[in-house]
Each structure stands twice: as structure tokens, then as C-alpha cells.
Amino acid sequence: MQESVIYQDILQKGEGKGEQKGAVKFCLRLLNQRFGELDSLIVERIKVLSVEQLENLGAALFNISEVADLVTWLNQQDNS
């Protein structure tokens, strides 16, 4: 069973979701340390970002100085 294509696909999806959840948790932790508790709408927008986008957010944090900058960054992600 572990060698089946379906099993491997499910396993990969599970691993991807785990990686994404970990990246979300890390980014939210950094953002909360920097800006305090974030608005729930912003948190929800961050939770749906891909792993790649979350990695980009982590790098962008060096240039984000206020919550408005974060919202601008999130809006750019929506448009790309």
C-alpha cells in the first residue's frame, strides 16, 4: 500500500500542509513580536499563503516597518 501512487500523493499533500502550517506559525510569531497582536483579517490572509509566499514574507519583514506596509505586501500577493 505504501508504494501506491494514491498513498504517495496523500503523503505528499500532508507533508506540504504541515510545512505550510509551520511557516504560518513562524511568520505570525515574528509579526506578533514586531507589531503586537494582528487584526484577525490580516491573520486569515496570512494563513492562506503558500509556503513560497510565506518564505518571501519572512524576507520582506526586513523592509516592513508598520502594519500598513504588511497590508500593502499582502495586497501585492493577491495581485500576483
pLDDT in tens, 2-47: 566 665 555 455 554 668 899 999 999 999 999 999 999 999 999 9
Residues in CB range of 32: below 8 A, 6 or more apart: 38
Where do the domains of the chain lie?
5-79
Q: What is the residue whose three cell numbers read 513562524?
A: 26
Give the pLDDT score at 47. 96
| Dist. CA 72–CA 65, nearest whole Å | 12
Give the pLDDT score at 5. 65
Q: What is the DSSP letter of 61?
A: T
Residues in CB range of 61: below 8 A, 6 or more apart: 30, 31, 34
